Chains A and B, each alone.
Chain A
Amino acid sequence: MNRITVGYRLRKGLPRVLLWVMLIGWLTFALGPYVWMLLTSFKPLSQLFTWPVRYLPEVWSVKSYGDLFRQTEFSLFMRNSIIVAFCTMVLTMLLAVPAAFSLSRHRIRGKKFILAFLISSQFFPSILLVLSLFSIMKQLGLLQSLVGLMLVNTAFVTPFTIWLIKGFFDSIPKEIDEAAKIDGCNEVQMIRHVLLPVLVPGLVAAAAYIVIFSWNEFLFAVTFASAERVNTIPVGLKSFIGEYATRWDLLTAGGVIAALPILIFFISIQRRLISGLTSGAVKS
C-alpha cells in the first residue's frame, strides 16, 4: 500500500469490522425490545410463563390480538388516541402558523423575549402544570374529557411548534414576499399561495412532532382523563399492568398495535423531522 491509499483509508474513518460490530450491537440494543415484544405477542398465554425461556413461539398464535379486541376496550383507546392526536395537531397548527409568520416577518416589540420564552417553554416542569391545572379544569368541567386533554396538549406543544415553524419561514428568502406583494397579493393571500406551498415539508415535520408527542403523551392523560371511556392508548395499556397479575399477552399485542402507526409515520418522515428539530440548536 502506498501513502495515498493509507490517507484515503483514514479519511474513510473507522475500520470496517469495528464499525459493523458496533452498529450491529447498537441495532440489537435499540430493536431487541421490539423484536421480543413482537415474538411474545404471537405466543399463546401458556407459553409465556416458561422457564428457561423459549425464544420462538412453538405455535404461532394470534389469540392475544383477538383477546385484545374482544376482552378489552382497546379499540376505544385507539379511537380516543386518534381523535386527540388529530385535533391537537390541527389546533396547534392553526395557532402556530400565523404566530410563526408574524415572528419571522414582522418587527415585533419584545421579539427576543418572546423567542426566549418559546424555546424555554420546553423546560416547564410538567408537574407544575399537572398540579395547578387539575383544579382549574375541574371548575371548567374539562376533567375526564377528550376536549380538555386536547387543550392541554395543544398549549404544551404550541410554543415549540411556533419556534420550529418560524425557523422554516426564516429559511424562505424575504425577496419572495416582496415579489408577491408587488404582484398584488395581500398578506393572507401571500401566506396561502406563496409561502405555504414552499413550507409543506416543514409543516409536515411540525405536524409529525405534534402527532408523535400527543400519541405518546402519558402524564396529562393519566391525570386528566383517567376514566376508561376517555383513556388514550398509553393509559389503557397501563391498565393491563396489574398489581399481582400482568396480562403480558394483551400488553404485548396492544404494544405492537400502538407502535405500528407511529413507527410507520416516523420512519417515513424521519429525515425531515430530524433536520427540523435540530435546526433550532444547530444554526450554521
Chain B
Amino acid sequence: MSQIETGMPVAPVQRKKVKPARYTKYLYLLPAAVVVIAVIGYPVLRAIYISFFHYNPLSGKMTFAGIDNYLNIFGNKVFHRAIWNSIVWIFGAVSLQTLFGIIGAVLLNQNFRGRGVIRGLVLIPWATPSVLAAMMWMWILDGNYGMLNDLLMRLDLIQLPIPWLSQPSTAMASLILIDVWQGIPFFAVMLLAAMQTIPSDLIESSKLDGANAWQTFWRVMFPLFLPTLLITVTLRIVWTASYMDLMMVITQGGPAYRTLTIPLMAYYTAYSDLKFGMAASMAMVQAALLLVVVIFYLRLLAKQGVLDHE
C-alpha cells in the first residue's frame, strides 16, 4: 500500500515511481489464479491422468489401463472416420470463412451510406447462440417443409426436395454452411480492424504509381494485413476443431457417422458409453494435434510484439 495508508512519512523528495509493497501486486492476481487453476488447470491435468484408466464416474470404478485406451482408439475404424471428419469440418469451414471474410472486410472498408448500421447488421450471426443458429437452419434446410428446397424447386434447380441434414452426402456440407454463416463476421471484423490500421497514404501513393485497385489490394494491403489474417485463421482453426454444438443439436454425429468429429465422439464415448477414460484419450489426441497450432499462434503473436510489455 502507499505511504499514506501505512502511516509512513511522505518522502521529502518526490519519487518518480511509487513502488507497491512487494506482495500486494501478487494479491491482485491471486483470486483469478485460484479460480482458473481450480476449474481449468486441475481438470486438464486430471484428464491426462484419466486417459490412462478405465473410468466410470457414475459407479466410481477406476482401474489402471496403461496405454490401452490409446491403442484401442487408434485401432478403431470409427475414430479414424472421426479424425477425417474433423479435418473436413475444419478445412471446409475455415477456408470458406477466410475467403468470404476477406471479401466482407473489403466491402465494409468502402465508403457508403449507412455503413455503421450495415456493419452492425452483418455481425448479428456472430452473436447468435449456437442452438438458435442450429434451429433456424434446421427449419430452413428441412427435408419436408424447408424453405431452401421450396426456393430451389421454384427456380427449377431441383426436382425433388433434398433432406440436406439427414442424407450422408450433404450433412457435413450443411453443417459447414451453418458454421460459415456464424463465422464470416468474425473474420470480416478482425480483418477490417487490420485494414484500418494501414496508412492511407500508402494506398494513395500506390495508386499514383499507376497500380489499379486489384494490384493495390494484393501488393500493398494484403502483405500488411497478412499477420492478422494468419492469427485469425489459427484462432478459428482451434475454435472450429472444438466446436460441436451444431452437431450435438442437429445430427448427433449421423447419418452414418458422417458428422462425427473427434470431440463429439469423445463426448458420446463418455456420456453414452460411460467410458470416460477412453473419451479422455480421444480428447488428448485432439489437444495434442491442436497444440501444434497453438504454438504456431503464440510465435506469431510474439513476432507481432503482442506479448511484450512496454
Query: A114 vs B181: C-alpha distance in the bound complex, in angstroms?
Result: 34
Q: Is B226 an interface residue (CB 8 A)?
A: no
B107-A130 in contact (CB<8A): no
Given the contacts A131-B279, A151-B39, A126 and B242 also touching, CB distance less than 8 Å: yes
Residue in A108, A156, A270, A275 whose beta carbon sits within 8 Å of that of B40 in the complex: A156
A222-B248 in contact (CB<8A): yes
Q: Is B50 an interface residue (CB 8 A)?
A: yes
* CB nearest neighbor in B for A113: B307
Given the contacts A14-B110, A36-B147, A233-B129, A281 and B306 also touching, CB distance less than 8 Å: yes
Residue in B128, B232, B286 whose beta carbon sits within 8 Å of that of A259 in the complex: B128
- Min Cβ gap B252→A in Å is 10
* CB nearest neighbor in B for A139: B57
Q: What mask results when residues 96 to 107 of chain A are scored 1 for a CB within 8 Å of chain B, else 0? A: 101101110011
Query: A246 vs B131: C-alpha distance in the bound complex, in angstroms?
Result: 14
- Min Cβ gap A79→B in Å is 17
A11-B204 in contact (CB<8A): yes
- Min Cβ gap A229→B in Å is 19
B139-A37 in contact (CB<8A): yes
B197: A residues at CB distance < 8 A: 282, 284
- Min Cβ gap B203→A in Å is 8
Most B CB within 10 A of own CB, among A49, A130, A282: A282
Q: Is B297 an interface residue (CB 8 A)?
A: yes
Query: A23 vs B114: C-alpha distance in the bound complex, in angstroms?
Result: 11
Given the contacts A151-B39, A159-B36, A116 and B307 also touching, CB distance less than 8 Å: yes
B17: A residues at CB distance < 8 A: 178
Residue in A19, A131, A187 whose beta carbon sits within 8 Å of that of B24 in the complex: A187
A248-B181 in contact (CB<8A): no
Query: A99 vs B30: C-alpha distance in the bound complex, in angstroms?
Result: 8
B103: A residues at CB distance < 8 A: 22
B47: A residues at CB distance < 8 A: 128-129, 131-132
A52-B242 in contact (CB<8A): no
Q: Is B96 an interface residue (CB 8 A)?
A: no
Count of chain B residues with a beta carbon within 8 Å of a chain A beta carbon: 117
Q: Is A176 an interface residue (CB 8 A)?
A: no
Q: Is A158 an interface residue (CB 8 A)?
A: yes
Given the contacts A53-B145, A131-B270, A123 and B31 also touching, CB distance less than 8 Å: no
Query: A235 vs B286: C-alpha distance in the bound complex, in angstroms?
Result: 26
A20-B112, A125-B241, A131-B283 given; 9 more Cβ-contact pairs under 8 Å = A22-B107, A27-B118, A114-B29, A125-B263, A128-B284, A131-B266, A237-B131, A262-B128, A271-B116
User: What are 8 pairs between A and B in contact, CB < 8 Å?
Assistant: A49-B144, A53-B147, A102-B25, A120-B294, A156-B39, A187-B1, A235-B131, A283-B304
B40-A155 in contact (CB<8A): yes
A114: B residues at CB distance < 8 A: 29
Given the contacts A30-B122, A33-B181, A51-B144, A133 and B29 also touching, CB distance less than 8 Å: no
B31-A94 in contact (CB<8A): yes
A278-B242 in contact (CB<8A): no
Q: Is A147 an interface residue (CB 8 A)?
A: no
Residue in A94, A119, A219, A258 whose beta carbon sits within 8 Å of that of B244 in the complex: A219
Q: Is A69 an interface residue (CB 8 A)?
A: no
* CB nearest neighbor in B for A236: B131
A274-B189 in contact (CB<8A): yes
List the interface of chain A (C-beta within 8 A of B): 7, 10-14, 16, 19-20, 22-23, 26-27, 29-34, 36-37, 40, 48-53, 55, 94-96, 98-99, 101-103, 106-108, 111-112, 114-116, 119-136, 138, 151-152, 154-156, 158-159, 162, 170, 178, 181-182, 184-188, 212, 215-216, 218-219, 222-223, 233-235, 237-238, 241, 246, 248, 251-252, 255, 258-259, 262-263, 266-267, 270-271, 274-275, 277-278, 280-284
B28-A14 in contact (CB<8A): no
Q: What mask results when residues 176 to 196 of chain B are scored 1 for a CB within 8 Å of chain A, else 0? A: 000001001100011001100
Q: Is B155 an interface residue (CB 8 A)?
A: no
B36-A263 in contact (CB<8A): no
Q: What mask results when residues 12 to 30 of chain B are scored 1 for a CB within 8 Å of chain A, else 0? A: 0010111010001110110
Q: Is B67 an interface residue (CB 8 A)?
A: no
B44-A120 in contact (CB<8A): no
Residue in B32, B245, B276 whose beta carbon sits within 8 Å of that of A96 in the complex: B32
A255: B residues at CB distance < 8 A: 132, 135-136
B213-A127 in contact (CB<8A): no
B193-A125 in contact (CB<8A): no
B235: A residues at CB distance < 8 A: 122, 281
Q: Is B4 an interface residue (CB 8 A)?
A: yes
A119-B301 in contact (CB<8A): yes
B57: A residues at CB distance < 8 A: 134-135, 138
A283-B25 in contact (CB<8A): no
